[in-house]
A and B are shown apart, each in its own frame.
Chain A
């Protein structure tokens, strides 16, 4: 039975994985030392490690976003929540204990996510509109917390979260793996995955089957907020400062892109956490590649745009149909 399961995931994850591999190989041509990993002071260094390390905030946010998109939703406030949580941690740390700062930063994320979930599930406001509020207000709140300045943080434990090494690997990687495993656990060891995929695919039938969609929606948005907060801590810890204006700017777009590349449809239903991770890694590799080729880094945006359209067209049934029809017509004419 497991074989079927494997086969199935493999199919969905195949294309993003191939694309990722292709880009990695491409990098090898540009930079022959791309795959080299050095060991300095028991720490691993190298381009691959670097890409992995840098992509962690995006990976975590994308994982949260995957759940939201699985229920035909969207959360465009993740960037703002990321900024708020970083700012909160920084502000509290100025006078208080670091652990308190971490806990409060996470709680802030949960509260933001819960707020979004409340608007979507109870008030039945369209997800995009509901999260738009926090997107707009969020940056303002973050700036309010930081007082409009970039707060710098001077704490060893905190900077360890962003830059430290554990068993040779950068610490953020462990956080990323932990979040990923937690979500896998939720999907495979509780009924959340099943319920979420059901309501994302067919809301009416799910209600007939006794699922209570509101609770699941609330849960999913809360998790998404929490993920954004975790990413916020990592981002701010990485540079030891909280920038309310620029931290996580546009990360919501990258996250949506990562989810879609990973094979989860914007129309909800099945979701693929592994695919999302690969999608996020792909985006990071893409940026890194373009930087290392040395051409204008802004072309990343153009490439992203084209990739999004292409992926969505592939997912669009009417596109495939008209494509197929085109082929048919040609045959009938000849």
Chain B
């Protein structure tokens, strides 16, 4: 119901565009390939991309404040490595989960602290975070570690049945829950609204007395938490820890946000967007998989093309908005000006 509400509110071009895109792509797939139009193929989109949905949702908050978090991909890999190592050492599975989430929060918070306190470029700080995360996971182990822990195996293979015969994984459930929570946070908490205010206009936010620094730190904390959660979901999906997992995934997350209508300039976007972005990328991937003869790099080209279209679309929206403002100021001035002008002419 909320979703319907959001879509209907108008000015939600991007969400609408992305939804239409998914439907079109999915329709195309269904007509072209046998077996494409099945509940399970659709649910697999969630199962296979659960971690990306989580990470992209965390990233979306950062982007809405006008920042960026490049460390997410490396951090998911690091979490997989830490989990695998700790489990190998015989730690309790639930303790490991809690511990990794905590690490995520701390790591993200530290990045946010550096960015807000010392006015460092988020690009640089999170880039360093990315190096740090990858390097640390290799320091722990350069090899891939297979997870044999019972709890993790159970979580990995658990199938949650859905009406209609399909099923989803625990990871997909977590992802959906997170998206719902994120939508709630964005809409119904002070923190969520401050995120939008900071992204809309930092100096205004400061002048309005909003806690800009705290919001920045919290946002990176949340992104760190999402990376850790995504790391957990990814770990039970792969059942292995490896430092080379998900190379370049941060770009996928950013792309998902852009396609999902999160404006990279900050201040705009709905938290349902990243999920839609991930899904549309997932559908493309599935189509290419079903097609069979097209190589996997077409995914990159297609995603890149989508990215381009959406970035240009975003740009046009911004330009359009600016033009609107100018028209407003013209409207304001036109009347008095012509009036005085004619009077002046009459005088002379």
Residues of A within 8 A of B (CB): 74, 123-126, 128-130, 132-141, 143-144, 147-148, 244, 249, 253, 256, 260, 266, 296, 298-306, 308-309, 312-313, 316-319, 322
Contact = CB atoms under 8 A, between A and B. Distances in A.
Interface string B300-313: 11011101100110
A296 B142 contact: yes
B186 interface: no
Interface string B196-215: 00000000000000000000
A72 to B, nearest CB: 10
The prevalent SS among residues of B at the interface is: helix
A133 B304 contact: yes
B119 A136 contact: no
A51 to B, nearest CB: 21
B297 A305 contact: no
A302 B139 contact: yes
Given A132-B307, A305-B131, A308-B131, A266 B119 contact: no
Nearest to B131: A305
A298 B123 CA distance: 22
A300 B135 contact: yes
B243 interface: yes
Contacts of A141: 301
Interface string B128-164: 1111101110110010000000000000000000000
A256 B49 CA distance: 31
A115 to B, nearest CB: 10
A322 B130 CA distance: 26
Of all A-B residue pairs in the complex, the 3 with the closest CB atoms, nearest first, are: A137-B304, A298-B138, A301-B135
B128 A308 contact: yes
Given A137-B304, A316-B120, A298 B297 contact: no
Contact of A266 (B124, B258, B296): B124
A128 B301 contact: no
Nearest to A134: B304
B117 interface: yes
A298 B68 CA distance: 25
A144 B127 CA distance: 29
Contacts of B117: 318, 322
Contacts of A143: 295, 297, 300
A148 B297 contact: yes
Contact of A298 (B139, B301, B311): B139
A300 B131 CA distance: 9
A124 B136 CA distance: 38
The prevalent SS among residues of A at the interface is: helix
Chain B CB count within 10 A is highest, among A144, A256, A301, A302, for A301
Interface in B81-134: 114, 117-121, 123-125, 127-132, 134
Contacts of A126: 264-265
A309 B127 CA distance: 9
Given A128-B68, A143-B297, A148-B297, A135 B135 contact: no
A216 B232 CA distance: 47
Nearest to A140: B300
Nearest to B114: A309
A309 B124 CA distance: 8
Contacts of B264: 126, 129
Contacts of A125: 311, 315
B255 interface: yes
Contacts of A322: 117-118
B311 A129 contact: yes
B31 interface: no
Contact of A140 (B120, B132, B138, B298): B298
Contacts of B295: 143, 147-148
A100 to B, nearest CB: 25
Nearest to A138: B304
Given A129-B311, A266-B124, A137 B305 contact: yes
Nearest to B134: A301
B251 interface: yes
Contacts of B307: 132-133, 136-137
A132 B259 CA distance: 13
10 contacts: A74-B123, A123-B312, A136-B251, A137-B301, A148-B295, A249-B247, A296-B142, A299-B135, A302-B136, A312-B120
A308 B131 CA distance: 10
Contacts of A303: 135
Contacts of A249: 247
B299 interface: yes
A301 B138 contact: yes
A255 to B, nearest CB: 12
B131 A301 contact: yes
A302 B305 contact: no
A318 B299 CA distance: 43
A148 B264 CA distance: 32
Contacts of A129: 258, 264, 311
B254 interface: yes
Contact of A253 (B127, B138, B247): B127
